[in-house]
Structure 1
Amino acid sequence: MSAVPGIKNALEPITLDPMDPTSGMCSGAKAKTCEGLLSVGESVFVETGEANVHFMLYAYADDRHAAAAYDALWKGWSMSVKPPTRNEAVGVIGERRDAVRGTFQPSSSGDPAVAVQVRVGTTLLVTHAYGSSKEWTSGDRIKALATMFTERSWQAQAGRNPSAQLE
């Protein structure tokens, strides 16, 4: 069963090597996010013509490296949401969290977009949703998506199979 029922998994979870020079992940200003970075995972869900939900997981060697990379990574992800923006409440999840709402960048469509970043132990988790479907970008939905992703990371770091899913 999908962790996110009601939307199609368009990109099965993949692992990316951030140190691969062709990825561009650790070049220039992005280098601050790469100290102690072990791997990056991504999965994308799509409701065709309506919404896209991206999950990005950045796995670090330890809590210290994850905490040190937080601000630099958030700076990049928060810029994926075009002004005017406002902070989004996602509740108390993880050790640290930020969320911003605005419109999808770089599109001129005016579609709503929300980016959430959460630190969970040795991981930084990003949930990014955008599209014309307000069902997938509503405050309640983005909070539920980020909470589910956070719970799955806690489960994996505790040595359990991730089983949390969107209700």
Structure 2
Amino acid sequence: MSSARTTALHRTARGVAAGAALLLLAGCGGSDDKAAALDEAQVASVLPDQDAMPGWKRSEKAATSPMNDLMRSNLCANKGNKGCEESLFMGTVSFRNEKEKAGARFWMIAYKDEKAAEAAYDTLWKNTSRTTGPKKADLGQVGAERDARLGTQYGAGLSVTGQIRVGTAVLWLGSDALSEEAPDQELTEDLAALFSERAQQAQNGDKPSATL
């Protein structure tokens, strides 16, 4: 069986599994989801680890930090660092998959409460969209709010940069194609669902267990 055919079968199976998982979650009552402030250890647990990303290798170690002046200037790069009000912690990690010719970047800000995260969302997306591509992209049905753009990133490759709000946290992901092709749409949606679900699990008081 060809490598392309094998990849297609894997993607089909992944799509079926993802759809089944969404139906299961819908039947289990998403109304029980909570919006709780996350501490630094919980932020670290939300970041996907090696077990959550089978077949991928870390290209950047996971890192977390309390929000400070340096973090605010990087993540809320505007006059007055707007969008970082009442932010508590940040986290980031990156992966590569040479076989799939893909990269995945995850970063997030945890806020004092849902109101603060909701108030920050539009300002943060305004900042993010200035440095991404011009074409609107799709992350699937994830989070309470979501936006994404497709454009050239990191050399000649194309990348989808997405922003998602889940309760008290604002998440970002980069789905990067390590070639001149566009990032795989199903993979992009899977990465968004993975990160969002882990953030929700942590806010529900559970240990994040979602995997790709």
Structure-2-length-normalised TM-score: 0.67
- Deviating 4+ runs (over 4 angstroms): 133-136
Select the residue among 78, 103, 113 that pairs with 1:52. Answer: 103
> In 1, Cα distance between the equivalents of 2:181 and 2:66?
33
Unaligned runs of 5+ in 2: 1-49
> In 1, Cα distance between the equivalents of 2:207 and 2:181?
28
> In 1, Cα distance between the equivalents of 2:180 and 2:211?
20
* 1:153 equivalent in structure 2: 199
What percent identity do the matched residue pairs reach? 35
Answering whether residue 119 of structure 2 is matched by residue 64 of structure 1, we say: no
Distance change >3 Å, CA 161–CA 22, structure 1 → 2: closer
* 1:37 equivalent in structure 2: 87
Distance change >3 Å, CA 135–CA 120, structure 1 → 2: farther
Give, as a single letter, the amino acid of the residue that structure 2 aligns with 1:156: A
Distance change >3 Å, CA 68–CA 21, structure 1 → 2: same
| Structure number with larger C-alpha Rg | 2
Distance change >3 Å, CA 134–CA 153, structure 1 → 2: farther
Distance change >3 Å, CA 125–CA 22, structure 1 → 2: closer
**Equivalent residues in 2 for 1:88-107, closer than 5 Å:** 88-104=137-153, 107=154
Distance change >3 Å, CA 86–CA 153, structure 1 → 2: same
> Quick check: 14-23 or 70-79, which moved more?
14-23
Distance change >3 Å, CA 54–CA 22, structure 1 → 2: closer
Give, as a single letter, the amino acid of the residue that structure 2 aligns with 1:31: N
Query: Helix, strand or coil: the match of 2:73?
Result: coil
Q: CA deviation at 1:17?
A: 3.0
Structure-1-length-normalised TM-score: 0.84
| CA RMSD between the two structures | 2.5
* 1:118 equivalent in structure 2: 164
Asked whether the 8 Å contact 1:136–1:142 carries over to 2, the reply is no
Give, as a single letter, the amino acid of the residue that structure 1 aligns with 2:158: P
> In 2, Cα distance between the equivalents of 1:59 and 1:154?
12
Q: CA deviation at 1:81?
A: 2.1
Q: CA deviation at 1:11?
A: 2.4
* 1:80 equivalent in structure 2: 131
Name the structure where strand makes up a greater proportion of residues.
Answer: 1
Q: CA deviation at 1:133?
A: 4.5
Q: When the two structures are aligned, how many residues end up with a matched partner?
A: 161
Distance change >3 Å, CA 135–CA 44, structure 1 → 2: farther
Name the structure where helix makes up a greater proportion of residues.
Answer: 2
Unaligned runs of 5+ in 1: none
Distance change >3 Å, CA 7–CA 146, structure 1 → 2: same
